[in-house]
Structure formats: C-alpha cells, structure tokens
Amino acid sequence: MAENPIVMISSYPPRLCGIATFCEEAREFIQKATPKRDVCVVSHTDGDGDGVFPLIDMSQRRWWKPVAEKIRELEPYAVHIEHEYGLYEHVDERGQGDGNEGFLDLLDAISEFPVVVEPHTVHGRLMDFEANFVYEVSRRCDVLLLKCHYQKWRLDWTFAQRGWPTPRNIMVVPHGARPDRRWGMHDVPGLREELGLNRVEGLATHLVGLIGWIQSNKRWDILTAMWEDIAAEIKEGTGEDWDLLAAGAMRDPNHRADYEQWKGEIQGMEEKGLAHYYEFIPRGDVYYKMMAVCDFIVLPSVDETQSGTLARIIALNKPYVTTAPMEGLTAQTLESEGGLLFTTKAGLRKQVIRLASDRDLRLTLGWNLKRYLDEVVSWEVVAQQYLESYNLARQAKRSGKPVEFALEF
C-alpha cells in the first residue's frame, strides 16, 4: 500500500511567480528526501505537471472548498502551504478584497490533518492587518515556518506590544538554495558561449551582474545611473575593463514604465561599450548560468523580506552587493558573510569599486557563501527541516499537545 502523500498548496509553474518556482524547487528536494512518499501539489488553475492538481480558482469566493475536498481525498501525511497574500485574495465584483478570509477558512476546513504554513511575507514591522492575520494563522496551523530569525524575535516584540500572547509554534527554516549549480571559473567561457555572449562584440571579460525580474522595487537604476563613472574608476585603478550585464524580463505590467526606462539606459551604455542588455525569462538553468558568468552580482532591492534572487546568488557562491537595512537581504548577508552592504548611492559606488578591485575579497566572500550553502541553506538541509516540521505537526495531532518552540531571545 502506498504511503500517504505530502501535499503542498501553492502557486506552481508554468505561472511566472517567485513562489511557484520556490515550490517547484522545494518539492524536488522534499521528494528526494522521502523517496517512498509522493509529494504532490494543489495549485491555482494555471499550475501544471505530474502530481499537480490545479484547483485553486480565486475568482470564486469559496475557492477553498474544492481544495479541502481534495485534501480529504488524498489523506495526506502532512499539508505544507506556501502563503503570500496576493495568492489567496478573492476580489469581488466591487473590487473589494476579502483580506485572505478564505485562507483562514481553508485552514479550518482541513484542521484534522497535520498542517504546516510557510508565509513568504512577514515584515519586521507589521501593519495591524498583517499582525492579526499572522496571529490567526498561527492559531490554526500546527507549525508556522518563518525564514529568518529576525522575523521570529520581531514578532515576539510586535505581539507583546499589543498585549497578545506570542505563538510558540514558530520554527525558523531558511529560504532554500540549490547545491548543484556551482560552476567554477573554468566553466565560464563555455557558459558565455552557450548564452551567446561570446558573440557580443567588445564584451569585457569581467562582468557585474544585474540579473532577474525587472521590477520597480529592484531599482536597477541606482546602479545604471552611475555605472559609466564606476567603470572608468575601476579601469583607472586596476587597468581592467569591466562591463555591466543587465539580464532579465518584465513580469508585472504595472512596472512597464521602469522597465522601459532602465532598459533604454542600459542599451544607451551598450552603444558606448560599457554594458549589455540580455532579455530572458528568469527561471530554470538559464537563470543560474546568467549569474554564473558574472564576477559578482548587485541586488539593489528596496523592498524585500527574503529573495529568490539572493537564493540563486548563494547557490552559485557568487559575491554580491545589496541594500541595507533590508529585511532578509541584510539578515542573510550578515549570517553568510558573503556580501557587501550599502545604504546610500555613494556607498553602493564604493562597494562595487571595492569588489571589482579586489580579487582576493571576491574569493573570500565566495568561500563564505560555500560554507553557508553547505551548512545552512542548501535545499538538502532545508528539506530535512521540513520533514522535521511535518513530524512535529503529526505528533501534535496525535497527542493533542501543541508544538512549542523556545522564543528566539
């Protein structure tokens, strides 16, 4: 008799969604960690693939009902839900959202099963709605997974200030990163040829990367606006030519104005032989290969709790420069010791020049990221933590005793 499956609830490819891609990778490594137990997915209606049930129709107010019915039919070993507010918001004919009320209804409807919820947006300073929602979710699930320790201790502060008890069923499991995409320097010429970059006339050997979805919050313009001067200063100090490789695509049409402006600026520098723009859909192996050809990556995000882009940077052991203080970006940079932080435009300029001018620093940061990947955030490590959370959730259901972890501080 087949063992009861693990059921994930999430958006899923081919949807162009960061959480869909996250779920796809998480599922792959959970399946490897428990090969005798199927890992299947209940997805939104645009999900597809083996073991994927595309049942979540957010145009329906009671979208959660067929999901709950499928869960009961599958009789899961555990239910693992990826949450982001936009994924589960029903908007009625007036344009009014339900505040994720249906998500809470789903948790009530499947409460007989072990349930683990993994929210992807838990800011350090929560709005009133967010605080109440996280509290209500924590009461309805067996284990609540946060990705960073700061989220857990900030939540304790937030709830204490409201006179609320702090949930004790919170487990910290970091954003996973692939351990099998680590190309070395000797692989770069072949990757450049595969990507067609060897056909770009005059493209420098050394590349600084802006790689990923082109979104307003990623603020590529902070770097592009000063790149010409930065490249000149690097050349003067080191004698080396460095180019900016900006590669990605627009995902949200609401960001079209920024996309068009930034793309135009990069193409203008391309005519001067200082940069190259490469359009591609940032998912799959090509995403990793595009980063791998760069000496380091700049991630100038101004709104991020944790980042799939950073997970790929870590997977490649690629040194990077990113914004601070910025939620999970700063937390993981401090914990990994694999990147440099900036808080001003002048600081960004300084850190980019510093990293381009110091090969030994790039190597040191890369080795730090290798250690951090191997020991902390590899999907192989994270998958085992997921299995632990499922076991704890099952024990809670059998014993009637809630899961309880120590507070962070």
Assess whether 209 and 334 both reside in one domain. Answer: yes
244, HSE (Cβ side, Cα atoms, 13 Å): 33
pLDDT for 303 equals 85
Residues 237-277: pLDDT tens digits? 999 999 999 999 999 999 999 999 999 999 999 999 999 99
Assess whether 46 and 28 both reside in one domain. Answer: yes
Assess whether 359 and 384 both reside in one domain. Answer: no
Assess whether 358 and 372 both reside in one domain. Answer: yes
pLDDT for 304 equals 78
Q: Report the chain's mean pLDDT, rounded to a whole number.
A: 96
- pLDDT of 2 > 80? The answer is no
Assess whether 273 and 346 both reside in one domain. Answer: yes
Determine, yes or no, domain membership for 407: no
**By C-alpha distance, which of 201, 293, 294, 309 is closest to 251?**
309
What CATH number is given to the structural domain containing 109? 3.40.50.2000
- The predicted model scores a pTM of 0.95
Determine, yes or no, domain membership for 139: yes
Assess whether 21 and 146 both reside in one domain. Answer: yes
Cα Rg of the chain (Å, integer): 22
CB 294 within 8 A of CB 159: no
- pLDDT of 306 > 80? The answer is no
CB 81 within 8 A of CB 118: yes
Task: Provide the 3-class DSSP secondary structure of residue 177.
Answer: strand
- pLDDT of 305 > 90? The answer is no
Mean pLDDT within 297-308: 86
- pLDDT of 1 > 60? The answer is no
Range of the domain at 50: 6-176+379-399
Q: How many domains does the chain have?
A: 2
pLDDT for 249 equals 95
- Measured over the CA atoms of residue 303, residue 307, residue 308 and residue 312, the dihedral's sign is positive
pLDDT for 35 equals 96
Residues 91-118: pLDDT tens digits? 999 999 999 999 999 999 999 999 999 9
Count the Cβ atoms, other than its own, within 10 Å of residue 23. Answer: 26
DSSP string, 189-229: HHHHHHHTGGGSTT--SEEEEEEEE--GGG-THHHHTTHHH
Residues 185-240: pLDDT tens digits? 899 999 999 999 999 999 999 999 999 999 999 999 999 999 999 999 999 999 99
Assess whether 34 and 133 both reside in one domain. Answer: yes
Residues 155-187: pLDDT tens digits? 999 999 999 999 999 999 999 999 999 998 899
CB 301 within 8 A of CB 307: yes
pLDDT for 307 equals 80
Greatest CA span in the chain, whole angstroms? 70
CB 64 within 8 A of CB 103: yes
Please give the share of the chain, as a percent, with pLDDT higher than 70: 99
**By C-alpha distance, which of 302, 340, 305, 303 is closest to 320?**
340
Determine, yes or no, domain membership for 405: no
140-157: b or e for each residue (b if 16 or more CB lie within 10 Å)?
bbbbbbbbbebbbbbbbe
Write the CA distances from 58 to 70, 111, 155, 192, 356, integer angstroms.
16, 21, 29, 42, 47
Strands 39-44 and 296-299: unpaired
Assess whether 102 and 236 both reside in one domain. Answer: no
DSSP string, 219-238: -THHHHTTHHHHHHHHHHHH
Q: How confident is the model at residue 364 (pLDDT cuts 50, 70, 90)?
A: very high
| CA separation for the pair 50, 110 (Å, rounded) | 23
Assess whether 361 and 386 both reside in one domain. Answer: no
**By C-alpha distance, which of 99, 87, 81, 79 is closest to 18?**
87
Assess whether 200 and 338 both reside in one domain. Answer: yes
Assess whether 218 and 323 both reside in one domain. Answer: yes
Determine, yes or no, domain membership for 171: yes
| CA separation for the pair 329, 163 (Å, rounded) | 30
CB 186 within 8 A of CB 223: no
Determine, yes or no, domain membership for 406: no
Assess whether 165 and 141 both reside in one domain. Answer: yes
CB 243 within 8 A of CB 275: yes
